[in-house]
Amino acid sequence: MRGVFHAVEAREVAFGIVPIENSYEGSINETYDLLATTTSKVCGEVTVRVRHCLIARQGTKLSQIRIVYSHPQALAQCATFLRAHRLEGVPSYDTAGSVKLVKEMQSSKVAAIASRRAARLYAMQIISEGIEATGTNYTRFLILGRKIASRSGDDKTSVIFGVEHSPGSLYRALHALANRKINLTKIESRPVKDTPWQYNFFVDFQGHVQDRVCQQALKDLQHRSTFVKMLGSYPRESSS
Amino acid sequence: MRGVFHAVEAREVAFGIVPIENSYEGSINETYDLLATTTSKVCGEVTVRVRHCLIARQGTKLSQIRIVYSHPQALAQCATFLRAHRLEGVPSYDTAGSVKLVKEMQSSKVAAIASRRAARLYAMQIISEGIEATGTNYTRFLILGRKIASRSGDDKTSVIFGVEHSPGSLYRALHALANRKINLTKIESRPVKDTPWQYNFFVDFQGHVQDRVCQQALKDLQHRSTFVKMLGSYPRESSS
């Protein structure tokens, strides 16, 4: 993930794409932490429907499988399926890599959770498809670049801010948005790395930084917080 | 983790203990999700200083090690150390278990990240101690039981609530606390599992549910949210 941010900052690529949250498992902490500490800007978002497959060697039956390898988020999304079939999940670095691992292990006791495409890539068998816990499993990705996207008329803005450790400080900061009827679409807290039990807040809200009302809100937020870091404004996806 | 919640609910044990957040890596999502869906009550909190060790077979040198096994949160807490020494982190289920795994692998190319105690338990060598990214790395644990703790005079209360998907709804809900100068010590959002991009909020605030001001605040919060689930009141740890 860090590599994607670095490639954008070092001008090796024009744009990068990183996962930010899954509709079932929640936020991707690593991405939030990298947004806080790098200079990349958010210039778009894309939401992708996730369909997980249980993948094993050709000829394997579900009843033979004992151990299932995959990325921790994929294992978490399929936890209900794993429990129902008494399968033990073992975390690995990524979903497609776990298919390769299972292929190399040459055992009918092991399987992987990954996409249909990964099964095809390694010529492996799909034992079961759509094994995620909910039929509506989506992952939202952010497009990273070096500039804020221009105004489309239906935009979203992402910022990070910190507040004093005192009663009502978060509430007072959110007043800057609520007071202007700006729709907060997401709020996430992440620990401040070197100060235990202090948090920064990441918020997404409707509007573009070039909109007058957003400019006023951000100015107000600056007065009500210890710092504000602008992450970007970008066209809002209709599905999100 | 699920097993701890179940043992408390099934009355197999009087109390359970589960990690809720790390001062560096943030919240433990699995614990938050189990708090939402089970009937266990929070009846205490304990904060423990975390000191991670790099552990390998006797006689291994740091320069020989290529791969390091540990729990994903421990790998994340030691990411700076791993990068500096060009070590590849591989996630495993728990920290102590990764020491056992490395012992069994009988290779000087592998190591584990775990506690000093785990190294002693498996008679393994500590290559480096205190390899976490910050000198102030703490993990906060919750004590689970079936009843709310009685009032100590310096207490904390934890609740979950949901809000309508409309501008200012979270702000209006937090008003129930801010209006009474109740100190919010933590706010965490988690996705509603079957409704993409809907969130529930977990809040910790100072005070006991038997305090008059907290009772009023909770009643008010109920009016301002779609539901409130009381998780517990418990003595506040002085260190947190």
ipTM reported for the complex, 2 dp: 0.79
Q: Please write the tens of the pLDDT for every residue from A145-184.
A: 998 899 999 999 999 999 988 888 999 999 999 999 999 9
Q: Nearest-CA distance from A105 to chain B in Å?
A: 17
Q: Report CA Rg, chain B.
A: 21
Q: State the sign of the Cα–Cα–Cα–Cα dihedral B140, B20, A228, A213.
A: negative
pLDDT range class, residue B238, cuts 50, 70, 90 = low
Q: How many CB pairs under 8 A join A and B?
A: 114
Domain A53-129 has CATH 3.40.50.720: no
Q: Helix, strand, coil % (nearest 5) of chain B? A: 30, 35, 35
- Between B134 and A75, the higher pLDDT residue: A75
**What's the pLDDT score for residue A238?**
63
The CA distance from B116 to the nearest CA of chain A, in Å, is 22
C-alpha pair distances (Å), A121 with each of A51, A126, B15, B62:
16, 12, 48, 37
Mean of the per-residue pLDDT values of chain B: 92
Domain boundaries, chain A: 2-48+139-235, 53-129
CB-based contact B190 A240, cutoff 8 Å:
no
**Terminal CA-to-CA distance of chain B, rounded, Å?**
23
Cβ contact B167–A184 (<8 Å): yes
Residues paired with B142 in a beta bridge: B18, B45
Classify B31 as helix, strand or coil: helix
CB environment B114-150: b (16+ within 10 A), e (fewer): bbeebbeebebeebbeebbbeeebbbbbbbbbeebbe
Phi, psi of A226 (to 5 degrees): -80, -30
Task: From chain A, pick out residues whose CB is under 8 angstroms from the CB of B167.
Answer: 178, 181-184
Question: Best mutation site among B2, B5, B6, B24 for testing chain A: the one with the most A CBs within 10 Å?
Answer: B24
B159 CA: distance to closest CA in chain A (Å): 17
pLDDT classification of A197: cutoffs 50, 70, 90: confident
Does A141 participate in catalysis according to the annotation?
Answer: yes
Q: Verify whether the Cβ–Cβ distance B181 to A189 is below 8 Å.
A: no
The stretch A208-237 carries a mean pLDDT of 96
Q: What is the pLDDT of residues A89-144, one digit of tens each?
A: 988 878 888 999 999 998 999 999 999 999 999 999 999 999 998 777 899 999 99
Contact between chains at B23 and A191 (C-beta distance less than 8 A): yes
The beta-carbon neighbor of B72 closest among A72, A188, A197 is A72
Residue whose pair of structure tokens reads 């938050």 in the numeric block = B32
CATH class of A2-48+139-235: alpha beta
pLDDT number for residue A240: 40
Mean pLDDT lowest for which of A38-42, A69-73, A155-159, A169-173?
Answer: A69-73
Residues forming a β-bridge with B235: B155
Please indicate whether residue A139 is annotated as part of the active site. yes
Q: Which residues of A touch B166 (CB under 8 A)?
A: 183
Rounded CA-CA distance B55/B61 in Å is 10
A30-34, A118-122, B91-95, B214-218: segment of lowest average pLDDT: B91-95
| For chain A, percent of residues with pLDDT exceeding 90 | 77
* Annotation: CATH topology of B53-136: D-Maltodextrin-Binding Protein; domain 2 (3.40.190)
Distance CA(A222)–CA(A235), nearest Å, equals 24
Helical ranges in A59-194 per DSSP H: 72-77, 79-84, 95-105, 116-121, 169-178
Contact predicate B159/B203, CB 8 Å: yes
Q: Do A186 and B181 touch (CB under 8 A)?
A: no
Taking the C-alpha atoms of residue B118 and residue A159, their distance in angstroms, rounded to an integer, is: 41
Q: What is the pLDDT of residue B240?
A: 40
Closest-CA distance, B96 to chain A, in angstroms, reads 16
B2-44 per-position pLDDT tens digit: 899 999 999 999 999 999 999 888 999 989 999 999 999 999 9
Q: Which of A31, A60, A95, A139 is catalytic?
A: A139
DSSP state of A90: E
Backbone angles phi, psi at B136, to 5 degrees: -120, 65
Which candidate, A196, A199, A186, A194, places its Cα nearest to that of A225? A199
Count Cβ atoms below 10 Å from residue B3 Cβ, excluding itself.
Answer: 9
In whole angstroms, give the CA distance from residue B42 to residue B93: 25
Report the alpha-carbon distance of residue B107 to residue B109 in Å, rounded.
5
